Amino acid sequence: MAIENKWQHNRFSVQKSQINFDLLHNFAAFSAKSRKRIAINPLQTLMEPKTYIDHIYEIIIQYGLKVIAGLIMLVVGLWIIHRITAAFRNFLKRRNVDDSLRPFLLSMADVALKVALLLMVAGQLGIETTSFIAVFSAMAFAVGLALQGSLGNFASGVLILLFKPYKVGDLLTVEDKVGFVAEIQIFNTVLTTEHGKTIIFPNSKMTEGAIENIVRDAEIQSEISLLLDSDNNLSLVREAVEAAAQRCPWRLPERGTEVVITGLSRDDMKADVSWWSLGENYIRNMDFMHEALREEFASRGIKMAKERRRETM
């Protein structure tokens, strides 16, 4: 029995020694790892800032130069655009472009140049501009289809204001409508008649067809065609026309009257009667001609033809 107890006691001592040995081994391993970690961490701590600095340096090298180049391009481009718009402004003044059209053309040129400059700067910075251009093109196409009629009037208005086929105060005949130009707008041209009526024409109508323009301060020959009896004395007809012209307050005295026979038949003759006035007095002069000729013909016994043909003015 004593031998068995001694054997168990020795066994317990061996197991305890084994456990203590394992604890010492684990502690030694942990201490070694800790010492290793403590030895390595300072090196990593010293290298990490260097890595961040290198990364920032790479970013500056990669994008900083592009940003600087983009800023230089932007400043120089804005200066060039300013000079171009100033030269364009002087060009429009020399061409006597209408005052209402000049600011629009200047702003349109300025915006177009600045948009092109921004796209160039974006490309310099490495920004992909193809998608933006595609989107803008699609939007412009859609707007153009939706407003094609208005854009046609707008383009015609720009052409009218730029090339000035007529101006305010001129007398126009458009589609059998006669009136003085009261206002030229971007989309419409406004006419006023002698009776105070207002006629508004889209500018596309003014450029797509023929118009008759009587300039306000130009010398215009007012002419009417009359169908007279063939028995009338031609000298007496000329005398009556001259007397009617002398009574006209709008006739230009330095310009003579004209009576031209343009057609003959057995029973009648066609005579074109005319004298001159300024364009602003054209309608009043035409009205006076009919009235004065009627009175002079009646006082001299000049007869009109029995079958009246259509008179043209």
What are the DSSP calls for 65-133, one per residue? HHHHHHHHHHHHHHHHHHHHHHHHHHHHHHTT--TTTHHHHHHHHHHHHHHHHHHHHHHHTT---HHHH
pTM, 2 dp: 0.57
Residue pLDDT, tens place only, 13-64: 544 455 444 544 554 454 444 444 444 444 444 445 557 676 676 777 777 7
Which tokens belong to 156? 């015609």
Structural domains in the chain?
48-146 (1.10.287.1260), 165-214 (2.30.30.60), 219-300 (3.30.70.100)
Quick: pLDDT tens for 257-280: 889 888 888 888 899 999 999 988
C-alpha to C-alpha distances, 26 to 20, 22, 39, 235, nearest whole angstrom:
10, 6, 20, 146
